[in-house]
Amino acid sequence: MTKPAQVDVDLLVIGAGPTGLFATYYAGFRAMKVAVADSLPELGGQITAMYPEKQIFDVAGFPTIKGRDLVEALVTQAATAEPTYLLGRTATSLEPADESLSVGFDDGTVVVARAVLITAGIGTFTPRPLPAGDGWLGRGLEFFVPSFAPYAGKDVVIVGGGDTAFDWALHLEPVAASVTLVHRRDAFRAHERTVAAVRAAGVEIITHAEVTALRGDAGVEEVDLSVAGEPETRKAQAVIAALGFIADLGPLQEWGIETSKRHVVVDQAMRTSLPRVFAAGDVTDYPGKVRLIAVGFGEAATAVNNAAAAIDPSAHVFPGHSSEA
């Protein structure tokens, strides 16, 4: 029987999204040996999986930056730490081991780390299904838009009323033959500025509406709607269901970490309820929490610096400024 691979590091970062990648860089700045694990096969977390073309507006120093470009820059920055990447595998168990923690993965890998930093974002995420879309996935129905090019010249129907639906509507309008946004209410969760931009772009917005059926032979050709109770049919070769996601922390919830509504509870030092286990980014919860990428970067630095002091009590929490190195 093959012995499971073991990786020994100072810090294990669980989650390779923006917060995890910045934490990796900062761990290298603190001279830590670091490993980064993620259940997804690529770096960048939710941005890479769902929004690589999306413009991001809340990163300091960049009026706007495309998701793909932000991830690329973060990966380059993290490379200075010479991390070990463990992608496409899920952390399933955590056990204390002397002055370290042993984390097991679903492929048999074991990481022994002196501290663990959880930057898992919303955890594993599953798209909320479109009730009328059963059997149409990949045949004109999609939940993610990793590239706009496949929609060139198509009639696109987007279902949803949140930021994702409106962002995709705004970006697809110049590319597609037509874009129609369908929402069951006349109030939207999306940011008011984005809603105004979509209206100004000429995207048709149909409210009090639901998709009742998709029709076509090899792929979607038409979409049946119920609009205020009245039937309508729209031509469409592509349907995007932007109805949100069902998030799940998965095995993390079984480790004994205090959680609140699928988030990990932390204190001002980003410590969780377990010794030597820290968390940062969207996965965390505390009074006044704001879930922005910019906030996650600050939390990552706070977590890593406090982890450094937990690993070596003689180390200072604040190491000085990187510009002094």
Residues placed in the known binding site:
19, 38, 46, 51, 91, 125, 282, 323
Cβ-contact 171, 151 below 8 angstroms: no
DSSP, residue by residue, 84-133: EEEES--EEEEEEETTEEEEEETTS-EEEEEEEEE--TT-EEEEPP-GGG
The token pair at 13 is: 């970062």
Cβ neighbors of 192 (< 8 A, separation 6 or more) are: none
Give SS3 for 21.
Answer: helix
Sequence-ordered alpha helix ranges (H) in the chain: 18-29, 45-50, 67-78, 163-172, 192-200, 293-311
| β pairing state of 230-235 and 238-241 | unpaired
Annotated binding-site ranges for FAD = 19, 38, 46, 51, 91, 125, 282, 323
The sign of the CA dihedral 58, 64, 70, 74 is: negative
What φ, ψ does residue 189 adopt, rounded to 5°? -85, -15
With vertex at residue 40, the alpha carbon angle to CA 94 and CA 278, rounded to the nearest 5 degrees, is 35
Cβ-contact 32, 10 below 8 angstroms: yes
How far is residue 158's CA from residue 164's CA, in Å, rounded to a whole number? 10
Q: Buried b / exposed e across 133-148, counting CB within 10 Å, b at 16+?
A: beebeeebbbbebeee
